[in-house]
A and B are shown apart, each in its own frame.
Chain A
Amino acid sequence: DQQVKQNSPSLSVQEGRISILNCDYTNSMFDYFLWYKKYPAEGPTFLISISSIKDKNEDGRFTVFLNKSAKHLSLHIVPSQPGDSAVYFCAASLGGSQGNLIFGKGTKLSVKP
């Protein structure tokens, strides 16, 4: 059973507008959530994270929101740029002595000029 779900396989947005990528999870024991970006022929690169005790974390154009009661998080990209076109993975960590990440299936973002 999937513990981390990204229900939208793809998203298309106009340059300059907001991109919102969504992620749902089932395990309330996750202590950190992370977003990774992946370009073709490259490995995933870390983008931004949020602790389970926070509800928002911002880094430049990227903001992650966490709604623990709904077990939902979202990544906002404002403004979107063509270079943001990539696959975005949501991942969750069980914390403690483990650093293992559980990944969603990814959402392919296309930002059109």
Chain B
Amino acid sequence: DADVTQTPRNRITKTGKRIMLECSQTKGHDRMYWYRQDPGLGLRLIYYSFDVKDINKGEISDGYSVSRQAQAKFSLSLESAIPNQTALYFCATQAGTGGNQPQHFGDGTRLSIL
């Protein structure tokens, strides 16, 4: 089983709909992250959480919200989806502080908003 699981893997929806992307992990890591990737661009940070009571905005948080339901679960919501939120979304976990702790990624959710 994958250590970092994202559901759904693919989603097509319409403008204005509310969408939730879910991430769960079995690695026991405190830190969790949500990124989006657009074609030809690198990963950009949306939100991150260092523990259950900690939520922080990333570079591109507008239009998104998150919920850290437990150490193992971190959900990303689009309250009212718009077409320019069509992208590949990745969840990641990290063991602790320090740049020498690599982040571990799920396999992504491909989201298309019509």
The answer to whether B22 has its CB under 8 Å from any CB of chain A is no
Which residues of chain A in 72-100 are interfacial with respect to chain B, using CB atoms and an 8 Å cutoff?
Answer: 89, 92-100
With a CB–CB cut-off of 8 A, which chain A residues contact B33? 100
Main secondary structure of the interface of A (DSSP, over half): loop
Q: Is the CB of B42 within 8 A of A104?
A: yes
The answer to whether B74 has its CB under 8 Å from any CB of chain A is no
Q: Is the CB of B90 within 8 A of A93?
A: no
Q: Is the CB of A44 within 8 A of B105?
A: yes
The distance in angstroms between the C-alpha atoms of A99 and B101, with both chains bound, is: 8
Of A49, A96, A99, A104, the residue contacting B31 (CB under 8 A) is A99
A–B Cβ pairs within 8 angstroms, 24 of them: A30-B99, A32-B99, A36-B105, A41-B107, A42-B108, A43-B4, A43-B108, A44-B43, A44-B90, A49-B102, A92-B99, A93-B98, A93-B99, A94-B99, A99-B31, A99-B94, A99-B96, A99-B98, A99-B101, A100-B48, A101-B43, A103-B42, A103-B43, A104-B42
Question: CB within 8 Å of B: which residues of A?
Answer: 4, 6, 9, 30-32, 34, 36, 41-46, 49, 51, 89, 92-101, 103-106
Known: A43-B4, A49-B99, A93-B98. 9 other contacts (CB 8 A): A9-B40, A32-B99, A41-B108, A43-B92, A43-B105, A46-B104, A89-B42, A97-B97, A103-B44
